[in-house]
Amino acid sequence: MLKITIKELHRTTGEYVRRAGASRSPVMVTDHGKPVAVLTRPSQLKPRRRRRTLLPAYKALMAKAPGNDLIHDLDAVRGDR
């Protein structure tokens, strides 16, 4: 993996971005010797799955048996919006 400093990246950004896009090898960007960023092709990135969090009020509403009053149920979901 090629390593460059932030200063080098500032001087020749286009060159390094094109190099990272054309290569399968990412370009590591360092600041005072510590890695701070990586330039790589989008196809090299792993897709991240979002963790979904249900609000406690929504969980409680979904646990209840469905009611006969749709408007009342919608208002309960909307809350104080």
Please state the separation of Cα 56 from the chain's center in Å. 24
Tell me which residue range forms the domain holding 29: 2-43
User: For residues 26 and 40, is the Cβ–Cβ distance under 8 A?
Assistant: yes
- The answer to the question of residue 33 being in a domain is yes
Residue 67: the pLDDT is 67
Structure confidence by residue, pLDDT tens digits, 28-76? 999 999 999 999 998 888 888 888 888 888 888 778 777 677 787 777 7
CA distances to 9, 16, 81 from 32, in Å: 13, 19, 48
| Residue 31, domain member (yes or no) | yes
pLDDT number for residue 43: 87
- Indicate whether 79 belongs to any domain: no
pTM to 2 decimal places:
0.55
CATH of the domain at 35: 3.40.1620
**Banded pLDDT at 81 (limits 50, 70, 90):** low
Greater confidence (12 vs 51) lies with: 12
